[in-house]
Structure 1
Amino acid sequence: MIIFQSEIELDNSSCIIKTPFEIKGERQNLWYKLPIEYKDFVVTENIDSALVALLPLAMKNNENISVKGQISARLHYTLNTYLIRALNLTDNTYNIINIEAERLNVNQLSNKEGFNVATGISCGIDSFSTIATHGELEKNEYAVNYLTYFKAGSHGIYGGEISNKIFEKGIDNAKKFAKEMNLPIIIIESNIGEIINIGFQKLHSILQLSCVLNIQKGISTYYYASAFRYDYFDISNEDTSGWDIILIQYLQTESLSFFSSVVQFTRLERTKLVANYKPSYNYLDVCLDSFNAKTLNCSKCEKCVRTMLSLELLGKIENYKNVFDLSVYKGVRDNFIGRLLLSKNLNQINQEIYLKLKLNNQIKFKHYVIAINICIFSKFNRFKKNIKNKLK
């Protein structure tokens, strides 16, 4: 793979960073778009963002990377020495490759804005708990003073109408929150999801943070919310959530530091932080099926029900009646608990909710019956599938 020098295009409202690259002899363009008012934040000297974004694609195609330009010396070292081999450990279809560049930059890129701190505003539990613990540090250089919102595959890697509608719904909610908190929000859109064409969840840390690497001149510190507490670590899982506390350290440069925020808290502890953060009451957005949701959240998908159950256990669910449909939740609550009994050891999050339910005496006989029925139904379906395969 050959990555060429990035080019910047400006119009009345947008700044577009285009990076040509060549893979398997075919030339394509990776682009990022952000509001024109943040053009002074944009990095033109280094091709760090495109390198990070395209790394998984090069590894999948077993192609070494040649950068026709300049990249961060630190990033060159950490990718070649650590991250490439780590990705190979998670999935051996990521081949070990080598990165070469014409020039390595050891200098900082920050502009006159000085020390700015940003974090993503998805309006989920991890997002809000990060803001709740970093938003009121008056006169502290580590307080959040910029928010970001990215379209880099999380709304669907293939683009299209559904992806756009999910993005527009999410960004509308994020903008309203940012306005209420009087914080600027940097919106970055990219075609990286379509180019990489790998499930977003497998690479979310890399895809999202590639966006941040475009604005190193204006942002010096970025908080990327961890999925789990730091006593949970799993590099064998293809989902980068299990090891992003390590992964993001290898994406830092001389100008930009990344921190795994709220890594000291469990998901239930984070939910408690958010439940005591009043601005979240009208903006909390955790839904996996927001495209079909009548309110901000559908109130019946796994993430919605898990969050609502956690809020109920904390005695705070009524505060979120504007963003959840409590009647829908009540109709699926028991079935979720039954399923939770079967998956309580799946991860740290499920185990924590199970223990809280048990402590609060919320697990009833009916939930065990539901769990047994789910097991029987699942085994019956597997039996039918085996019979059909044998008949074929």
Structure 2
Amino acid sequence: MIVINKPKLFIEAEFVIISSEINIFEEKEILWYKFPVEFQNYLVTENLDAFLVGLLFLGLKNGYDIRLESQVSEKLYYNLTHYLIPALCLANPALTRIEILPKELNGQNLNTGNIAGTGLSCGIDSFATYYDHIKENGRFSIGYFTFFNVGSHGDMGGERARKVYKERLHAVREFAMGENKKVITVDSNLSEILQVNFQKSHSLRSISCVLHLQKLFRNYYYASAYRFDHFKLNLIDTSDSDIFNLNMLSTESTSFYSSVAQLSRVERSQLVSQNPSTYPFLDVCTNPWIDKPYLNCSYCYKCLRTQLTLEIGDNLKFYNQVFDLKKYQEIKYKYIGELLGKNGKSPLDQELIAYLKERNYHLPTKVYIYGLLYRYNFYKLKLKRYFKEIIENN
């Protein structure tokens, strides 16, 4: 069983830390989240919502029931026990349906800030979320950006991930300053405690940070990876079901939305490229640890996908400060060939191929040669594994 104890607050220089003693059978851990001290009065100490959501995947993965030694949101408890936990277990048979055992339920609305927020990674989805909501007013208006260290900079946490987090934060703050908005940073040791793949638990990790700020955020936009029509329960990546998962993490105080789910990645890229303030800051790279002359390595799969999307729309030239366009031109046809040749294309792959055809993008013969080589190597490897299994089983 996992036991989550009542949270405590303490000040450390310009930060405020909210923590809880966590008992996992015989082991004791201290789970903490660090916020700028100016947001101390918005931190929720009445409920254990944030700690529960942060540790939920650990309980499901190991079959540990979770006992709460303080209150939890009544709405969140209902959503988790009736819908989200069963859905996650249905998506992933390796997970175990567990019980949540709260000391007390709290149906009170804690929100006083009455404003909205969203995460800012400077990627396509987060920029698209911001510009899609830029004309909203009142409680739907984005008042703050957030930036979290709970796995997106390194699945298992640690100092290497923290270093990447701090390096990326410079660009995030610079962009936010240009938009006259503050960034609420959140550092945490959640990843170190979980020790699980980020893609399987990213929504829960990120939303756990926001649930600490229920008094501030009436609404929160979490950038979705996929459009509505690509919804499915997926054991590898919860992004496919964000539109459901996020709704089930809402409380009496804060509502969560799977933002820009009405737009394809192509449409999001078009929206972002219409805003020159993004040109020096777009960051989509999956190789943050390597030394590189540009913000983006320009050759990882996300860099290539983004550059090709922007090029087809005649917008790549605007991002010459953040991409090595020479490197891209050298390898783009190989990428397109592999994109066309591979099996099991993702929804984003399918969107990009459709965009190529729609815009009559010229494909030289070598693209098809690359595609054939990719398929040849794929089946060669598959046959090699097949015969290896036969030999080992005889």
Same fold (TM over 0.5): yes
Matches within 5 A, 1:3-152: 3-111=4-112, 114-137=113-136, 139-152=137-150
Normalised to the residue count of structure 2, the TM-score between the two structures is: 0.95
Query: Does the CA-based 8 Å contact 2:21-2:29 persist in structure 1?
Result: yes
Q: Deviations over 1:126-171 (max 9, x none)?
A: 000011111233x443121100000001111233443233212211
Q: Does 1:227 align with 2:200?
A: no
Give the CA deviation at 1:116. 1.3
Q: Which runs of 5+ in 1 are unaligned?
A: none
Give the CA deviation at 1:294. 2.4
Distance in 2, Cα, partners of 1:377 & 1:236: 27
Structure 1 letter corresponding to 2:76: L
Off by >3 Å, runs of 4+ in structure 1:
381-392
Structure 1 letter corresponding to 2:318: N
Quick one: which of 242, 245, 248 aligns to 1:247? 245
Query: Does the CA-based 8 Å contact 2:144-2:184 persist in structure 1?
Result: yes
Please state whether the residue corresponding to 1:200 is helix, strand or coil.
coil
Please state whether the residue corresponding to 2:140 is helix, strand or coil.
coil
Q: Which runs of 5+ in 2 are unaligned?
A: none
Distance 1:196-1:132 versus aligned 2 partners, 3 A rule: same
Aligned residues: 389
Query: Does the CA-based 8 Å contact 2:115-2:138 persist in structure 1?
Result: no
Give the CA deviation at 1:24. 2.3
Query: Does the CA-based 8 Å contact 1:84-1:96 persist in structure 2?
Result: yes
Please state whether the residue corresponding to 2:246 is helix, strand or coil.
helix
Q: Deviations over 1:42-99 (max 9, x none)?
A: 0010010000111111122212111011110001111111111111011122101111
Distance in 1, Cα, partners of 2:132 & 2:382: 46
Query: Does the CA-based 8 Å contact 2:32-2:188 persist in structure 1?
Result: yes
Distance in 1, Cα, partners of 2:310 & 2:62: 45
Q: Does 1:261 align with 2:259?
A: yes
What does residue 171 of structure 1 align with? Answer: 169
Q: Deviations over 1:328-357 (max 9, x none)?
A: 111110111011102476222111111121
Q: Does 1:203 align with 2:234?
A: no
What does residue 299 of structure 2 align with? Answer: 300
What does residue 337 of structure 1 align with? Answer: 336
CA RMSD of aligned residues (A): 1.6
Query: Does the CA-based 8 Å contact 1:153-1:194 persist in structure 2?
Result: no
Query: Does the CA-based 8 Å contact 2:71-2:102 persist in structure 1?
Result: yes
Q: Does 1:370 align with 2:370?
A: yes
Please state whether the residue corresponding to 1:103 is helix, strand or coil.
strand
Give the CA deviation at 1:283. 0.6
Distance 1:300-1:116 versus aligned 2 partners, 3 A rule: same
What does residue 314 of structure 2 align with? Answer: 315
Structure 2 letter corresponding to 1:248: L
Distance in 2, Cα, partners of 1:365 & 1:218: 56
Q: Which range moved further: 248-257 or 152-161?
A: 152-161
Please state whether the residue corresponding to 1:92 is helix, strand or coil.
coil
Normalised to the residue count of structure 1, the TM-score between the two structures is: 0.95
Q: Deviations over 1:302-333 (max 9, x none)?
A: 00010000000010101001111101111110
What does residue 361 of structure 1 align with? Answer: 361
Matches within 5 A, 1:183-202: 183-202=181-200
Query: Does the CA-based 8 Å contact 1:85-1:96 persist in structure 2?
Result: yes
Give the CA deviation at 1:236. 3.4
Distance in 2, Cα, partners of 1:348 & 1:19: 40
Quick one: which of 276, 281, 284 aligns to 1:283? 281
Distance in 2, Cα, partners of 1:146 & 1:97: 35
Query: Does the CA-based 8 Å contact 1:338-1:370 persist in structure 2?
Result: yes
Percent identity (aligned): 38
Query: Does the CA-based 8 Å contact 2:341-2:372 persist in structure 1?
Result: no
Q: Deviations over 1:169-226 (max 9, x none)?
A: 2111101101111101100011111111110011111110110001111111100011
Structure 2 letter corresponding to 1:180: G
Please state whether the residue corresponding to 2:215 is helix, strand or coil.
coil
Distance in 2, Cα, partners of 1:385 & 1:219: 52
Distance in 2, Cα, partners of 1:144 & 1:344: 40
Distance in 2, Cα, partners of 1:344 & 1:245: 26
Q: Deviations over 1:264-318 (max 9, x none)?
A: 1000000000010111111100000122132110000000010000000010101
Distance 1:338-1:327 versus aligned 2 partners, 3 A rule: same
Q: Which range moved further: 228-237 or 210-219?
A: 228-237
Distance in 2, Cα, partners of 1:236 & 1:178: 33
